Structure 1
Amino acid sequence: MPTNTDRIEKRVLLRAPRDRVWRAISESSQFGAWFGVKFDGPFVPGASIIGSIVPTTVDPEVAKSQKPYEGYRFEFSVDRIEPMRFFSFRWHPFAVDPAVDYSKEPSTLVAFELEEVSGGTMLTVTESGFDQIPLERRAKAFAANEQGWAAQMTLIEKYLAQQAQG
């Protein structure tokens, strides 16, 4: 069990130039391709955007696990965009029950940070704010997103490798 219950952090060395990784995380269509969501517009700081779950184009096994949630809509509020370095948004973690109105709950903050390193680009993804989520769903949301971000690190890595191959 993690000792920090408020924050998830994942890091991955991506064998791609920073500008390529930047486009994969900051352009809604590219983000959606690897993440498994279709957005109704571009990412703009301060704007809310609606995403609909669609199976990822990157990994057939993950796509199969996303299939039951296909079409589920959620709100994604873009927080900050600092080109080539930082992108963040807010959302309601593990908000998968269509009968529940999550809009009254606090959101978590998801931040993507890029650092140029030898051999590629280090991507650090941090999701924080779980301690503010209602107790009755906090542990489940944390566990689901802990696993989810681990999977997403693999998906962005595969996406960038596929893009490099043309």
Structure 2
Amino acid sequence: MDTERQDAIEATIDITATAESVWELVSEPGWFINGGAITPHRIETNGAFSIVHDAIYGQFEFETVTLEAPRYAAFRSLGGDEWDDPVPNTLVEFWVESTNSGAVRLRVMESGFAAFDQDEHARVISANTRGWNAEMLAAQRYLSGK
């Protein structure tokens, strides 16, 4: 795969949960900042801007771009302060979709990676791909049966 020009990462997972419970999770800025298990965050909000405080990874800033309950949420990552966050200004979008099997499909796309310099690009794409796979599994474990 040619990652030099890859701009986006996508991941999808089916979750046995209600669309409302999936929406409740994905509409929270920074819910995906964790060590592979959903944990509560202290969140400071000022209009569309939020600072998410995670006990392990530190402080991250997000702009809420769009919330269309209960199906679509988009946040712009503005970077981290305490942890060396190499991914400022990416757009993180979530779609909550019904499936024919009765499950809820959660889809994420993070874009904006084409702007990274060549030295960082492949590393960031690889790290964030692994990260989204882990976060989708964490969401599935957390929400199944809700």
Instruction: Kindly indicate whether the alpha-carbon contact (under 8 Å) linking 1:17 and 1:121 is maintained by their aligned counterparts in 2.
Output: yes
Q: Which one of the candidate residues 97, 100, 111 is aligned to 2:93?
A: 111
Distance verdict in 2 for CA 1:22–1:2, change over 3 Å: farther
Q: Describe the superposition over 1:66-98 as per-residue Cα deviations: whole angstroms up to 9, x where unpaired.
A: xxxx15212111110001110010115788427
Structure 1 stretch displaced more, 143-152 or 110-119 = 110-119
Q: Which position in structure 1 is the counterpart of 2:117?
A: 134
TM-score, normalisation: structure 2: 0.79
Partner secondary structure for residue 16 of structure 1: coil
Instruction: Kindly indicate whether the alpha-carbon contact (under 8 Å) linking 1:93 and 1:141 is maintained by their aligned counterparts in 2.
Output: no
Q: Which amino acid aligns with 1:82?
A: E
Q: Which one of the candidate residues 56, 60, 68 is aligned to 1:74?
A: 60
Higher relative contact order (CA 8 A, sep 6+): 2
Q: Which residues of structure 1 form unaligned runs of 5+?
A: 55-69
Q: Which has the higher helix share?
A: 1
**Percent of aligned positions that are identical:** 31
Partner secondary structure for residue 66 of structure 2: strand
TM-score, normalisation: structure 1: 0.70
Distance verdict in 2 for CA 1:138–1:10, change over 3 Å: same
CA distance in structure 1 between the partners assigned to 2:30 and 2:110 by the alignment: 21
| 1:41 positional shift | 3.5
| 1:39 positional shift | 3.8
Q: Which residues of structure 2 form unaligned runs of 5+?
A: none
Instruction: Kindly indicate whether the alpha-carbon contact (under 8 Å) linking 2:29 and 2:50 is maintained by their aligned counterparts in 1.
Output: no
Are 2:131 and 1:156 equivalent residues in the alignment? no
Q: Which one of the candidate residues 79, 83, 87 is aligned to 2:73?
A: 87
Q: Which position in structure 2 is the counterpart of 1:41?
A: 44
| 1:28 positional shift | 5.1
Partner secondary structure for residue 41 of structure 2: strand
Instruction: Kindly indicate whether the alpha-carbon contact (under 8 Å) linking 1:39 and 1:52 is maintained by their aligned counterparts in 2.
Output: yes
Structure 1 stretch displaced more, 88-97 or 149-158 = 88-97
Within a 5 Å distance, the mapping from 1:14-29 to structure 2 comes to: 14-27=15-28
Aligned-residue CA RMSD in angstroms? 3.1
Q: Which position in structure 1 is the counterpart of 2:51?
A: 50
CA distance in structure 2 between the partners assigned to 1:135 and 1:41 by the alignment: 34
CA distance in structure 1 between the partners assigned to 2:90 and 2:66 by the alignment: 14
Q: Which amino acid aligns with 1:14?
A: I
Q: What is the number of equivalent residue pairs in this alignment?
A: 141
Partner secondary structure for residue 40 of structure 1: strand
CA distance in structure 2 between the partners assigned to 1:129 and 1:78 by the alignment: 16
Q: Which amino acid aligns with 1:72?
A: G
Q: Which amino acid aligns with 1:137?
A: E
